[in-house]
Every structure is written in C-alpha cells, then in structure tokens.
Structure 1
C-alpha cells in the first residue's frame, strides 16, 4: 500500500503527474456541473459518453501549453489556465441559472449585456454550492505551497509536450465525428447552445462562440450606410402597392399567429381510408371569412423553423447555411413586426413549449421586440407531458390560456406547436388514427401527429369562441416548413397517388398552408403564388400600418402588384409560368421544357433567375452586415434589448401591472380566469 502511494506521489512530483492531476480535477468538476447545474437534455447512451469525454480535448490542449516550459513556469501557467477555465465554468453556472442558456462571446460583447443581465441579480441567483468549482484550485495551491507536491525542475522534453498537443487534437476530432454522427450539421445549423455544450463541451463553446463573433465583426466592419441605401433603392423599385379593399381591415384587432409545425399543404382535405386527417383545419381553411392560399410555399434553408420565424417577423430570408437567429439574433438590429406593433400600443408575446434557448429565441426575441416569451419554464411539466421537442400541443395550448388571458389588448401572440415534428412519434394513448402504409417508418407516423395537431387546433379555436376572442382577433395559421423531406420519394409518390415523382412534383410538395381569418373578412381560396417572406408586408397592410419605406424582401400577397416569383433558399424558384429546379425548367403543367424554350422564353427564365439571386444576396447582405443599424425610419424607435426580461417572476409582475391600465380578457372577465372554458381530451390531464 505504501509502495503504491509512494509511486503516486513520485508521479505527482513530475510535470506530467501534476498535469494529470489538474486535468482530472477539472474534468471531475465539469461533469459535476453538467449533472447538477445545467439541463443538457442528455437522452441516450451515446450522448452520455460524449458528455463524459468532451471536457478532455480542450482542457488537455490548454493545460498542455504549460508543458512546453520548465520549472515553476509550468505550474504557474497550469494554475492560471485552470483558474480561467473554472471562472468561465462558474460564470456559465450563474448565467444558465438565470437564462437557461450559455454565455456566448456575442452576449459579452453586445452592449454590456452580461453586466446588465446579471449584475443586479447576482446576489439572488448565486448558491453556496456554486463555489465548489474553485475547491480544487485551493487544494492545488495548498499542495504546492506546503510542498506536498514538489516542482519538477528537470529539463522539459518538447516531444512529450507535442505528443500531448497531438493527443488533444485527435481526441477533439474523434469527439466531433461521434457528435456529428449522432446529431448531423451540429455546427453548421447551431440549433441550440445546449447542444454544443452537450456534445463538445463548455470550453469548446467559448471558442466556437468567439469565432462566430469574430466572423460577424469582420463582416459588420466592412459594411457601410451606403450599402443599405443601395438595397432600399432596389426594394422601393419593386415594392407593391396596397389593396384598398383590405388595407386597414384588421386595424386595432388582436393578432394570433398559429404556427403549424411541419404542416404541409397536401394535408388539407387529405383522407386516409376515407377519414379526414385534419377536419378542424379543413373547416378553418374553407371558412368564408378565411383567406386561404393554395400556392404558398415554405422558403426555409438549414434554419428550418427559425428561418420561417425570421421571414414571418422580419421579411428577411434565412442564411444559405446555418440559422440567422442563432448566429445573428443576439447582436443584430431589426425592425421586426413585434417591435412595430409594440410601438403602436400592442402587447407582444410568443408561446413555445420548449426551452427558451432553442434556436436562440431567448436572445433573438429581445432583438425583435417581444415583450414576453412564454417558454417551457412557464408551464407545469411531467414526464408524460412532453414529446420530443417540448410539451405536447394539447397540454401546451391549454396551459397557455393562463398567460394569453392576461395579455393587454390589442395583443400580438405567436403560438408555436411542436408535436407534429420529425420523427413523428406519438404515444399510443394519443394515437387516434392508424399510420399510413407506405413502408417508410418516418413518413407513416406523420398523419398521426398531424391528426393530433389538428385536434389541438380545434380545441384552441373552440376556446377562442367561448371567450369572445375569436370575434375580435385576426387569426393567422401557417405551416413553417416541410414535414416529409424530398429524400422520401417513394413514400411521397404513394401519398400523392403517383407512380413516381419528378423534381417539379417535389417542388410543389413544398407548399404549406397560409390562412388569414377574421370576422367580416372577405375570404375564399386565393391562388396567388407567394411564400413566407410575404407574410409580414401582408399583415402590415391588413393592420393599416404604413409600409412604404421598410427594408423587406416580400410583398403584400393581397396586392395586384404582388410579384409571384417564389424564391427558394437554394436559389431555385417557382411561379405561375415557370419553375426552375437546378438546371431543369418546368412549365406550369409540370412538363419538363428545359430544351424546348424559345430564345425569348430562355431570356425570361434568365431574368427570373437573376432576380432571385439578387434578392437572396441583398437579404444576406442585410443580415451579415447588420445593415439595419444604418437605417432608422422616423416612425420606428430602435429596440432596447435591456428593457426585456423573460424570467417568469418578471413576466408575472409585468402582466399584473398591465392589468391596471389596459383591458385584458382576464380583466374584462372581472378577474375570473377563463382557463376552465378550455376543454381538451388530452389523456394525460384526466
């Protein structure tokens, strides 16, 4: 026993031994922090292994720098590196407790937001156990000070230090490869900072967010005020006028945006074995007071839902790769619809049954001017309440009424559902119809979750009618992106009743519903071609908001001057005349006409392509250069992100205060909650 202890002590008295001890202690406290201070959503054996491994690569790399030196410098450098890593870990513990997110470099850089966000409340959020991450540092200092561990003065061997560096690099790429296999496009799409930390570690996240911030800074530094003026000039040239019949029809009305997750147009009136998949949405679609579009396309890229939200709220496209919300949402300047309505007396809120950090919503929504963000921590949750990407729709919508009824009117509320999300799995007690029988495991469950979403939608509409909100609200329902990707060609062909599908068929399969309902609105099915980029200008005109000098890349769908060229994020396009997919050109009958076009027709298609390319490039320039910081319309007040807090306690206070000055559904009902009016057949609540 003594011999073993002597060997351990002798090893610790070497540079490599001390390095190993510091590394082990840092790994130990990092794992402890992962499990006790963060909620990373680890839900598989692979993710558990990666979380155990991911602290090593960057820690080995950083601590290994000391091994290139000799004597006391080795120990000083290791301790300094350890203190820096630990301080970063400690800062993230505090920040995560407050915001359920990690402290990115852009957060630190932008407007002193760390001090604004944490400074005033640090005493309230800190816990004694947080300081345990510093215990090992104190122990190491004492071990060195009392010479329990002695300084190794032998000459440094550079090949050993180089070997440690190489080991760190190899471990990192093995870690990254395993992470990418479990979660593809992890770094290119950047779903959620939790994902980065869960797969690659809190140290890596610091470097990754620093790189992103640097890249953003370079592009912003090269941008100028003249850039936005050139773009605005082109936008004004193509801006559509208003439709006098509809302009201002919804002025002063509440607005509810109902986000139909992964919901495609083909589901409207679709039947399986003679049974409607979406009877409630079908009824809403066919209502005489609903304007329903049957040639409305999703235009998302890798950002998917976040791209749809970006277009909806800002009329800017997503990025060619990754998510604009994740990359630029924290720091960029926007003139978004929530802020515009806020400045016109609306209360604004987004409701989502998942964590606030997903797609960086907790930061982006502040940039967009949302007063309230009702996310997962606002809701009562149990194990069987959730399904994949958050709280099941029926439970989520019922609980949302608690906050919806408190919003001062008029309000702008976005309701984001999640159950109809890939991979379309639903527990048996919520399955009301059988799966389709295409043989494709992913596709066949789609109708079950779509049917569940439709039921939830029906329950929500019934609640709005009972409370009277239905009669004084413009309800907008839209599908955010495809549910079944084009990789499932055989299954898609079966669903559509075709032997096989062409590139044109797949382009048409990208249609999603877009419906605008309001009592007294002249409705009907509108065949105009459009996409998500057109939603914001359409809603602004219906609300009677001047829209002649905004930076928007869409146009009012109700305008006779609306440009019906629908641009996809990859540069392809569709229109009432031609659809171009890659190098293939189709006519509006779906016939391949690439080699049959006349010179005049080729020129027409070329002009369409040039326009599409130009629009996408200008939108990207606005986002990557943060060009809206240079453009300030006289009617718009710059959003002050520091004025918004999405803490539950702060939201409750703000809503309670708001009841005193403005009428909400709750105050109209003399303080009696309308929650009991919401009826759901959710089995979990019985």
Structure 2
C-alpha cells in the first residue's frame, strides 16, 4: 500500500500528473454543479452519460494550453485557467438560481448598459456553499506551497501537448455526434440553453453563444430587401381579420399600459390567511367593462422585461440570447406602437419609469420606437426612503407621475413601468401590512407582500383616473411582463398551488401572466382564448380602429375568431388550445394529462411546431437583419431618432409648447386647474 501511494505521489510530481489532477478535480466540481445547481431535465441513459463526460473535452483542451510551457509558468497557467473557468461556473450558478438560464454574451455586454443593480440581486441570491467551486484551487495551491506536490521543471514534450490538444477536439466531435444523434438539430434549431449545457457542457455553450452573437452582428451587414419577402409571405399566410364587433370600439381614446412587474396570473383572486393579495386588481379583472384573458402567457427569454416590451409594442419576439433592446434598440428600424399611433391617430406618447433611463437601453430604444417623452429618474424627486430594490416605490412613482401626465396632449399613449414587485421582493416595515406565505422558501414568501403593495398603488392610481375624468376617455391595459417566481422553486410552487408536487404542465400553467383591457365601450368578460405578449399590439390596434394588414407583426388579434391560439415560447416549446409542449413531453391543454399521441394528434402537433419554429425564425430574421429598414408601410414614415431629446430641460419645454399648441391636455379640459390634488396616497414616506 505504501508503495502504491509513493507511485501516486511520484506521478503527481510530474507536469502531466499535476495536469491530470487539475482536470479530474475540475471535472468533478463541474459535474456536481450540474447536479446540484442547475435543473437540466436529464432523462435516459445517453443523456446521463453525456452529462457525466461533457466537462472533460474542454477541460483537456483549456488546461492543455499550459502544457506548451515549462516549469512554474505551466503550473501557474493551469491555476489561472482553473480560476477563470471556476468564476464562469460561479457566475452561472448565481444567474441560473434567479433566471433559470445561463449567462450569454448579450447579457454580459448589456449588464453595464442597463445598470440594473445585478450586484444587489446577486447578494440576495448568494449562498456560502457557492464558493465551493474555488475549493479545488485552494487545495492545489496549498499542495504546491507546502511542497506536497513539487513543480516539475522539465519541459513537456511538444508532440505530447499537441496530441492532447488533438484528443480534446476528437472527444468534442464525438460528444457532439452522440448528442446530435440523441437530439437532432441541437445547434441548428431553436433550443433552450439548458439543452446545450446538458449535451455539450458549460464551456461549449459559452463558445457557441459567442459564435452566435458574432454571426448575428454580421447578419445585418449582409441583409438585403429581398430577405423580407419570405417574412411577408409567412405573415400574410397567417394573418387574421379583426372582429367586426370590436374593431374601432375604443377609437380615439387615450391608452394606458400599466406594466405589472413580475406579476403572475395565479395572484388574481389568490388569498393568504383569507385575505386577497390583490383586491384592486381583482375588482378591475372582474369589472363589467374589462375583457380579461386567463390563458395568457409571458414569452420572454433572457431579456426578461425588455423582451416583454419588445413584444408588447412591436409584435416582434425577443432574442434567443441577450436583449434585443440592448443589442439592437439603438441601431434598428422599428414600427412600434408609439409611432404607429402617432401617425395613424395623432397620439402623443410617453413612458414613465422611476429608475435610470439606461436600464435596458431604454433611453435609446424609446427614440427608435418614436416615444415623444421618456420620464425617468431625473424627473422625479428622490429621497433614500423613496426607493426599494430596483427603483422608486410604486405609490411614490404614481404620485409624482401625475404632474407630467396631466400636461400630455390627448389622445395619448402612456406606459407606466412599476418596480416594487421586482426580485428580491423587499419592502420596509412601514409599507408591509400583508402576511407572507409560509412555503419555507425565502425568495418566494415575501412575493405576495410586494404584489399587495403594487395592488394598493394601482388602486390609488385607478381612483385618480375616475376622479380626474380620464377613465371615461381611456383604455386601460394591465399586463404582467414575466414570472416573479421561476420554475427553480418547485417545492414552494407546489405549496402555493396546494399540490404535493408539480410537473411540467403545472409549471407551464404557472407562467401565465395577466392581460386585461378596460374601456367604457367594452362588455366585460373573461376570455379563455390562448395568447401571449406577442398578441397585444394587433389586439390593441384593432380596438382603436387601426388596421395592421401590411405591418410586420407576428402576433394576432386575440378578439378575432380566426385566431389559431398557438403561443410560441422562445425555446421552441409552445402552448395551444390542444397541447402543452414542454421538451419531449406533450400534455392535453384542457386536462393536463400526458398524451400518447395518435396519428391525427402527431400531425396536428407537427403542424403547430412548424408554425412556432417559423414564427421565431422569421422574427429573428427581422431583428438580426434590421429588415424593417426595407419595409415600406403606406402612410408611415420611419422614425428619425434625432427628433427626440429626453433631457429634462428640453422635454419640459417641449411639453409646454405642445400643450399651448393643442390645448387638449387634462389641465386644459379642467379649465387650467391642476388635477394633482385628485391623487390620494397613503404612502407613509409622503406624510
């Protein structure tokens, strides 16, 4: 036995021995991370095997770089490479814990631009055990410092180092071949990033993502007008006619888009300890003039809120990786809701947001979309206790929005982005008057408390609309932008839903978000049609009497009887009135029963999958190639970003000039009297 350990130590005292030790330790910690920190949906022997071995090829390759050097330099290079790879794993653990996805180049590039307080969120997500990914590096350094392992100063032969490099590439190729055999079209079709990590590995995912990002940037330069023809053909083929009973029903009215941050459908009518979480939104949902959709899904990917805005105001999908607003918001041509409504109906447009204007590159993207005004943090009076989490508290935000809102020439299109119900769901004691849930999950339990606060803020704003007279001449749209509780919190989700456990069907249903439209000319009801955020713009345009026959929009009017009721998700899964498709598992939409498909169902599923794939790929063509620069929409002029200036001094001057010119603002209608006193809030910070 002593001789065995002596031989082991002698082997470790060679460069190749130390190299193999580093590779083994790195492989072990990566595999353990796969198992403990990510939910990759591994099933079947082949997937289990690929998950086990996929860290090895890239580890052999990257650590093998050090073998081309000698002595201390080779050892230090291995440790540095280990540290960099470990940091990549560490960052993905934190990001995945909150967003159920992996970091991409688009997200990394966008983090600095959006200034979205990720540091604060990560501190909330961080667990002491996460630092275990660095443990092997500490052990290796100690072994070297105390000379348990001695540095081999002899040069490692070039031909051996080169052979290891070749071997690593051969293993990568073999791994990809096996993965592609198990999952056809792994890198050519639209898949969830979980698939790539599961089959190929975290490092390979990073390399593929960089390749994709660079490919996307070159696509625009190569795009030409002819590329738009196939997109137009697809849209024309799937166009739906408006419902004559609703077309123009709310023509000429103001439009409010109330962005309910991280707000999920299950909160509607939900109670904790017998108390309604959202009594004001519940009342709005069941109002006699509200059409509410209870099978409405968020369709966001890594861009989260920015994806929701992209779909809501353009009827274009977000990107598979990163944020379209960050990557393309400054450079692309758009035909978005603000410019469409301005040119078709004389609308003034304004966005209100109690945080920095650079968040998700809004200060540039909104110019591309044709927003006349963007009221961000510099327009709001601020104090330390006015903010929580990602920005200004909702009650204070609405209170300070009224002075600007009342000056907007009517009709106007106004979007208000709330923030308090954003992760990590923090709220001070003075504003917390609602019990937390008792799931035992510290991320989930305070969610209902911030949702209740958001509901109170909306209730105060709704009372203002009634008292000021705006309610009579306005369409009010409420929507949830994306999930608040990710699918990583399955035990807590099961408790919230009163179930012992949840399956993929339950999780798909849990990702529903609210969408409701209130207007005095609408007969209120709950509509069970299946739809998603991509469908908001065409639905709204038709209600306002604006046709979208020749537009490049991938959504469909939810009030149209011709709607096919297919809701694509960014990873290629979908929900329809017949199926819920989650990976390889198919459920009956109505019953939640897992299906063993017959030939008729298989044919229908394949047809719907083609529609989903074509919708996503054609939308990507438009965004990546900036194809709307080639699109000529009759009676529409492309937005000139130079016409917009969101600096406070310029915007307030422009608002005054516009008000004098049109004299249609709420203040004008009120005989020059301010409506600010009509807004009442119980915010303790303002007392």
* 1:577 CA displacement: 1.1
* 1:522 CA displacement: 1.4
* 1:464 CA displacement: 0.6
2:536 partner SS: helix
Alpha carbons of 1:519 and 1:177: their partners in 2 closer, same or farther (altered >3 Å)? same
2:428 corresponds to: 427
Unaligned runs of 5+ in 1: 1-158, 201-209
CA contact (8 A) 2:394 2:420 kept: yes
2:580 partner SS: strand
2:244 partner SS: coil
CA contact (8 A) 1:186 1:196 kept: no
1:671 corresponds to: 672
2:459 corresponds to: 458
CA contact (8 A) 1:180 1:186 kept: no
* 1:620 CA displacement: 0.7
Q: Does 1:193 align with 2:194?
A: no
CA contact (8 A) 2:115 2:358 kept: no
1:607 corresponds to: 607
1:414 partner SS: strand
* 1:180 CA displacement: 6.2
CA contact (8 A) 1:192 1:360 kept: no
Residues in 1 aligned to 2:114 and 2:373: alpha-carbon distance in whole angstroms:
24
Q: Does 1:238 align with 2:157?
A: no
Alpha carbons of 1:252 and 1:442: their partners in 2 closer, same or farther (altered >3 Å)? same
Residues in 2 aligned to 1:348 and 1:173: alpha-carbon distance in whole angstroms:
46
Residues in 1 aligned to 2:403 and 2:451: alpha-carbon distance in whole angstroms:
25
2:270 corresponds to: 270
CA contact (8 A) 1:247 1:542 kept: yes
Q: Does 1:636 align with 2:631?
A: no
CA contact (8 A) 2:476 2:518 kept: yes
* 1:611 CA displacement: 1.2
Alpha carbons of 1:273 and 1:306: their partners in 2 closer, same or farther (altered >3 Å)? same
1:215-614 correspondence runs (5 A): 217-343=217-343, 344-594=345-595, 596-614=596-614
Residues in 1 aligned to 2:682 and 2:624: alpha-carbon distance in whole angstroms:
46
* 1:591 CA displacement: 4.0
Residues in 1 aligned to 2:446 and 2:118: alpha-carbon distance in whole angstroms:
28
Residues in 2 aligned to 1:424 and 1:542: alpha-carbon distance in whole angstroms:
35
Alpha carbons of 1:378 and 1:182: their partners in 2 closer, same or farther (altered >3 Å)? farther
Residues in 1 aligned to 2:327 and 2:463: alpha-carbon distance in whole angstroms:
39
1:472-498 deviations in whole A, cap 9, x for unaligned? 000000111111111111111111111
Residues in 2 aligned to 1:303 and 1:183: alpha-carbon distance in whole angstroms:
13
1:657 corresponds to: 657
Alpha carbons of 1:458 and 1:567: their partners in 2 closer, same or farther (altered >3 Å)? same
CA contact (8 A) 2:504 2:582 kept: yes
Residues in 1 aligned to 2:505 and 2:84: alpha-carbon distance in whole angstroms:
42
1:638 partner SS: coil
1:441-468 deviations in whole A, cap 9, x for unaligned? 0000000000000000000000011100
1:72-92 deviations in whole A, cap 9, x for unaligned? xxxxxxxxxxxxxxxxxxxxx
* 1:179 CA displacement: 6.5
CA contact (8 A) 2:406 2:667 kept: yes
Alpha carbons of 1:503 and 1:183: their partners in 2 closer, same or farther (altered >3 Å)? closer
CA contact (8 A) 2:104 2:321 kept: no
1:220-261 deviations in whole A, cap 9, x for unaligned? 122121111111111011100011111001111000000011
2:646 corresponds to: 646
Residues in 2 aligned to 1:162 and 1:597: alpha-carbon distance in whole angstroms:
57
Residues in 2 aligned to 1:377 and 1:233: alpha-carbon distance in whole angstroms:
45
Alpha carbons of 1:195 and 1:576: their partners in 2 closer, same or farther (altered >3 Å)? closer
1:98 corresponds to: none
Residues in 1 aligned to 2:115 and 2:264: alpha-carbon distance in whole angstroms:
30
1:30-45 correspondence runs (5 A): none
Alpha carbons of 1:196 and 1:397: their partners in 2 closer, same or farther (altered >3 Å)? closer
1:444 partner SS: coil
2:529 partner SS: coil
Residues in 1 aligned to 2:88 and 2:332: alpha-carbon distance in whole angstroms:
29
Alpha carbons of 1:491 and 1:178: their partners in 2 closer, same or farther (altered >3 Å)? closer
Alpha carbons of 1:643 and 1:577: their partners in 2 closer, same or farther (altered >3 Å)? same
Alpha carbons of 1:567 and 1:179: their partners in 2 closer, same or farther (altered >3 Å)? closer
Residues in 2 aligned to 1:665 and 1:272: alpha-carbon distance in whole angstroms:
39
Residues in 1 aligned to 2:461 and 2:529: alpha-carbon distance in whole angstroms:
28
* 1:588 CA displacement: 2.4
* 1:667 CA displacement: 2.0
Residues in 2 aligned to 1:370 and 1:566: alpha-carbon distance in whole angstroms:
28
Residues in 1 aligned to 2:669 and 2:553: alpha-carbon distance in whole angstroms:
37
The size of the alignment, in residue pairs, is: 518
Alpha carbons of 1:471 and 1:342: their partners in 2 closer, same or farther (altered >3 Å)? same
Alpha carbons of 1:625 and 1:276: their partners in 2 closer, same or farther (altered >3 Å)? same
Alpha carbons of 1:198 and 1:265: their partners in 2 closer, same or farther (altered >3 Å)? closer
Report the TM-score, using the length of structure 1 for normalisation: 0.72
* 1:423 CA displacement: 1.3
Residues in 2 aligned to 1:480 and 1:648: alpha-carbon distance in whole angstroms:
27
2:661 partner SS: coil
CA contact (8 A) 1:505 1:590 kept: no
Residues in 2 aligned to 1:442 and 1:448: alpha-carbon distance in whole angstroms:
12
Alpha carbons of 1:211 and 1:678: their partners in 2 closer, same or farther (altered >3 Å)? farther
Report the TM-score, using the length of structure 2 for normalisation: 0.72
2:196 corresponds to: none
CA contact (8 A) 1:192 1:326 kept: no
Alpha carbons of 1:386 and 1:229: their partners in 2 closer, same or farther (altered >3 Å)? same
Alpha carbons of 1:212 and 1:194: their partners in 2 closer, same or farther (altered >3 Å)? farther
Unaligned runs of 5+ in 2: 1-70, 97-102, 120-209
Alpha carbons of 1:650 and 1:275: their partners in 2 closer, same or farther (altered >3 Å)? same
Residues in 2 aligned to 1:164 and 1:345: alpha-carbon distance in whole angstroms:
66
Alpha carbons of 1:162 and 1:676: their partners in 2 closer, same or farther (altered >3 Å)? farther
1:636 partner SS: coil
CA contact (8 A) 1:489 1:501 kept: yes
Residues in 1 aligned to 2:456 and 2:116: alpha-carbon distance in whole angstroms:
36
2:61 corresponds to: none
Residues in 2 aligned to 1:194 and 1:245: alpha-carbon distance in whole angstroms:
45
* 1:518 CA displacement: 0.8
CA contact (8 A) 1:212 1:327 kept: no
